[in-house]
Amino acid sequence: MFTIEQIKEAHSKVKSGADFPTYIRELKKLGVTSYETFVFDGHADYYGANGYKATSPAKYGALKVVESSNTEQFKADLKAHQKGKTNYPTFCNDAAKSGIEKWIVRLDKMTCTYYNKAENEIVVENIPQ
């Protein structure tokens, strides 16, 4: 099974949201089936076959995720990030300000779904293949 070190190596190649599809392909090759990233500290839970789970450490100090969602602002920030206009820390700060608590990437469905604190889906995206 995969290790957090292997995932970190794959992630080190990501400079902006524009690099995300390549990163996802690398995770798939490692055996990751899905992962959940938490905006408040950047840690992620990675899942593989047969209930395998690996958890990454926090990436940064705690961010305050606001209670109410601002879907339109988040969509604009997400588009900017995907075009390479913001780095990962900026994107996470923007997500927290828009009320995004986490996102879940499902590699079988090739989707990335963003959720608010109430566990409501805010944005569901198909990952380019």
Name the residue ranges covered by the structural domains of the chain: 4-126
| CATH architecture label of 4-126 | 2-Layer Sandwich (3.30)
**Tens-level pLDDT at each residue, the chain (129 residues):** 899 999 999 988 877 667 888 899 999 999 999 999 999 999 999 999 999 999 999 999 899 999 999 999 999 999 998 888 988 899 999 999 999 999 999 999 999 999 999 999 999 999 887
Looking up tokens 């499902």 gives: 106
DSSP state of 1: -
pTM: 0.89
Please give the pLDDT value at position 20.
80
CA angle 123, 61, 34 (to 5 degrees): 40
pLDDT at 63: 96
